[in-house]
Each structure stands twice: as structure tokens, then as C-alpha cells.
């Protein structure tokens, strides 16, 4: 036999028990975060593209027929008609730096990447209270899997749903799920601190997970390797964060709203002023009474401050009062100082940087603050239990 014709993967010993453990680890993750396990799309080296399996037996048989080469499982179940998916599983993919391998060695690049991954994991734990994750070594780098216990599609979240009419789906298949799907690439960049692979723009249909214990044939740097778990995730559901664990204690969902505003603004700009209806609507909205915002500005609060800053004060200053940027900055900062005298802002929260950022978002999007009646539906509670709407109404009446 001509040795040059031997597939290098055939010289690697596959431990089927470890492949089964890898499959079970991913399937358990799907189950615990509330995803239906089957039917589910998978990929192997034997096929071009993906195909569907309906149970664990079919899945394992397909992997075995492919000699466990390039085995991947879809991170999300198939989207059926009128079925809204929830963005409850994220993949942060971090590849080796090709230049480090060329100039030094793969071992050196691996050390650098391990340090980078550890910094990301530390940031996830300290800043976002995310401590349950899986880390896999793929041969080309590291994959970090982050499960969440989000219990509803983001289209049903009040603060996100306002952008739904302004967004257009990049995919014709599931237009109704555009907000949830938009969270995948945003969170990947956001939680990895822009360190994850920028060339990969995940969506529900394209996000596939490599299976621990199987062979990665698509090696960019050196020899073929078996995908290995470096850190196994915890199977305890109470260690997986939900929406309430991240919001409002962290900035991730506030900044996701900023992302949606900018994304929606790309579509809004040419449509908002394109016809008589839009122009009329804008004029009508601009003439709405916002006296209550002045009352809010004169009131220091200890809660809901990030939301007030983003959704109310900055769009009011820029798009209602038509202030210049510097004047708007001073005006909003005066309110922030009132709040800070009651309860200090988190020292890691750069208030001046945030005000400047939110003012630019307001300018780019042209959004107006909600009406007072709309604010009532938000039900923003303060520390003493009073609703922000009730606080403003009481001050106006007095």
C-alpha cells in the first residue's frame, strides 16, 4: 500500500466512549436550557452540507459511518412555521493567530490564546456573572459555549420589541425572529470583547457545534486533532444565568438596545422621511408633550438610571429640545450628578463616556422618548417599590 494515500485521520484512535460523552454533554445542554433535542441538523465529513436526524440512534450511526470525522450538531433546533427561537446558546470562537504560528510556533500561539481565553472567562465571571461555560480545544483554537435560561423570544421583550417594525430580516426564512437572531452576532462580539472570529456572523440556521471526542479534519495549522473539552460545563440549571440575572445588573441588554437602534437606523433613515405618512407621523410625535421629562430631569433616582439615560434623557435632549451635543452633555450630566449624590454609580461605569455614546446614538437614530403613557407600561420599579411612572405623576400633581 502506498503510504501517501493513507488518510491521516485513520491513524488517530477514536475512543467511542469519549465521543458518546461529548454528544451527551451537548444534548444535555440543549435539554437543560429548554430546547427540543430532535429533530436536529447535523454535519459530518461524509456529506456536503447538513442533514436531519430524529433521535440519538440516528445521530450516533451517522457519526460512526463518518468515522467520527468533522462531526457537528446544530446549536438550535429547526425553526418551524410560527415557531420563535430563543437565543439561549452562544458560541465564542477564537482561532490561533496565524502570524504567531508563522513567526514562532503553534505551541507559542496556543499559550497566547490560552491567556486570551482566560481573560475572557474572567471578564465573563466578574462583569457579567456568567460562570457556567464549556471550553473546547478544537485544533484550530478554542470554542467557548455559553448556555442561558432565557425563557422567551426577545421579540416579546418590551424594550426590544420597539425595534421590530424597523428591522428587516437578513434571512427570508424567519422574519419574525429577527431581534433574537440579531443577538447572536452582537453577544459574540460583546462578550468576547471583540476577540472572537470576526469573519463568522452566526444565525440560528448556521451555528453548528463541534462534538468533543470527534476529529476536526479542517485543520488550518498542522496535524489533525481530536476535539477535546478543556473545561466542562456544570449540569446544574441554577448555575445558568437567565434574563433577570443579567438585566439590569449588567450593561449587555442596554448595549444590545443601542446595537438595535443603530441597525434599525440603517433602514429607518431612508424610510422615515421618504413619504408623507412618515413625515406626518414624525411631526405629530415631535409635538407630543414632554413636560414630564423635565420633571424627571429634576429628580435624582437610585434605580433605572441606565434605562432613563438611554431611552429618555438623551433622545429628549437631542431630538426634542434640539440641543447641541455639548449643551446636551452638560444637561444630562447635571441629572447624573443628582443621581450620584443619592447612590454612587458603579465605579466601573464611566458615566461621561456613556452619556456621550448615548447622545450619538440618539443623533444617529432620531428616536424620540416614549410618551408618559408608554412609560407606565414599562413598570420600572425603584428601590422603595414605587413605580417610576407614579413618582413622576405624583411630582407633576404636586
What residue ranges in 98-257 does DSSP mark as E strands? 134-137, 141-147, 208-210, 215-216, 225-226, 228-231
Mark whether 182 and 322 lie in a shared domain: no
- How many Å apart are CA 69 and CA 10, to the nearest integer? 10
Question: What domain range is 194 assigned to?
Answer: 3-244
Residue 185 lies in a domain: yes
Sole residue written with cell 430524529: 54
Residue 259 lies in a domain: no
Residue 75 lies in a domain: yes
pTM of this prediction?
Answer: 0.75
Residue 142 lies in a domain: yes
Residue 158 lies in a domain: yes
Strands 228-231 and 141-147: unpaired
Among residues 188, 222, 244, which one ends one of the domains? 244
Residue 257 lies in a domain: no
197: cell is 472570529
Q: Closest Cα to residue 231, out of 149, 148, 146?
A: 146
| Measured CA distances, 192 to 33, 118, 130, 137, 385 (Å) | 21, 11, 12, 16, 35
Evaluate whether 328 touches 297 at the Cβ level (below 8 Å). no
Q: What residues in the chain have per-residue pLDDT under 70?
A: 1-11, 81, 168-175, 222, 264-288
Q: Closest Cα to residue 204, out of 58, 50, 47, 63?
A: 50
The pLDDT, as a whole number, for residue 168 is: 59
Mark whether 163 and 39 lie in a shared domain: yes
Mark whether 75 and 153 lie in a shared domain: yes
Contacts of 376 (CB under 8 A, 6+ apart): 387, 389
Mark whether 290 and 234 lie in a shared domain: no
- How many Å apart are CA 207 and CA 202, to the nearest integer? 6
Residue 311 lies in a domain: yes
Mark whether 224 and 307 lie in a shared domain: no
Mark whether 223 and 306 lie in a shared domain: no
Mark whether 65 and 133 lie in a shared domain: yes
* Count of structural domains within the chain: 2
Query: What one-character DSSP code corresponds to residue 13?
Result: P
Mark whether 110 and 53 lie in a shared domain: yes
Amino acid at each position: 500500500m502506498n503510504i501517501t494515500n493513507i488518510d491521516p485521520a485513520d491513524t488517530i484512535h477514536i475512543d467511542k466512549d469519549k465521543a458518546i460523552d461529548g454528544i451527551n454533554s451537548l444534548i444535555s445542554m440543549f435539554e437543560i436550557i429548554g430546547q427540543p433535542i430532535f429533530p436536529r441538523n447535523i454535519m459530518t465529513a461524509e456529506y456536503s452540507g447538513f442533514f436531519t436526524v430524529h433521535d440519538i440512534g440516528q445521530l450516533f450511526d451517522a457519526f460512526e459511518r463518518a468515522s467520527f470525522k468533522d462531526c457537528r450538531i446544530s446549536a438550535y433546533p429547526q425553526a418551524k412555521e410560527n415557531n420563535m427561537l430563543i437565543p439561549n446558546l452562544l458560541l465564542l470562537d477564537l482561532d490561533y493567530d496565524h502570524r504567531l504560528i508563522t513567526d514562532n510556533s503553534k505551541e507559542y500561539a496556543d499559550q497566547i490564546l490560552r491567556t486570551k481565553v482566560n481573560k475572557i472567562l474572567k471578564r465573563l465571571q466578574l462583569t457579567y456573572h456568567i460562570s457556567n461555560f464549556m471550553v473546547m480545544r478544537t485544533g484550530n483554537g478554542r470554542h467557548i459555549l455559553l448556555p442561558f435560561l432565557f425563557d422567551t423570544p426577545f421579540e416579546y421583550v418590551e424594550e426590544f420589541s420597539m425595534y421590530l417594525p424597523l428591522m428587516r430580516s437578513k434571512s427570508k426564512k424567519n422574519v419574525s425572529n429577527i431581534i433574537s437572531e440579531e443577538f447572536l452576532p452582537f453577544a459574540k462580539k460583546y462578550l468576547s470583547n471583540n476577540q472572537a472570529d470576526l469573519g463568522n456572523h452566526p444565525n440560528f440556521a448556521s451555528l453548528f457545534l463541534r462534538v468533543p471526542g470527534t476529529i476536526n479534519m479542517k485543520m488550518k495549522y498542522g496535524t489533525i486533532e481530536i476535539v477535546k473539552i478543556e473545561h466542562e460545563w456544570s449540569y446544574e440549571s441554577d448555575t445558568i444565568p437567565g434574563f433577570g440575572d443579567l438585566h439590569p445588573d449588567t450593561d449587555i441588554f442596554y448595549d444590545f438596545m443601542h446595537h438595535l437602534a443603530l441597525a434599525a437606523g440603517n433602514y429607518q433613515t431612508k424610510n422615515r422621511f421618504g413619504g408623507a405618512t412618515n413625515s406626518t407621523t414624525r411631526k405629530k410625535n415631535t409635538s407630543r408633550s414632554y413636560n414630564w421629562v423635565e420633571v424627571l430631569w429634576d429628580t435624582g433616582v437610585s434605580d433605572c438610571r441606565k434605562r432613563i439615560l438611554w431611552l429618555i434623557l438623551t433622545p429628549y435632549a437631542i431630538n426634542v429640545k434640539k440641543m447641541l451635543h455639548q449643551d446636551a452633555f452638560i444637561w444630562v450630566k447635571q441629572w447624573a450628578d443628582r443621581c450620584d449624590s443619592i447612590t454612587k454609580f458603579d465605579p466601573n461605569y464611566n458615566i461621561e463616556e456613556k452619556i456621550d455614546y448615548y447622545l450619538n446614538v440618539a443623533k444617529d437614530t432620531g428616536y424620540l422618548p416614549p410618551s408618559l403613557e408608554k412609560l407606565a407600561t414599562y413598570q420600572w420599579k425603584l428601590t422603595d417599590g414605587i413605580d417610576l411612572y407614579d413618582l413622576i405623576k405624583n411630582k407633576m400633581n404636586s
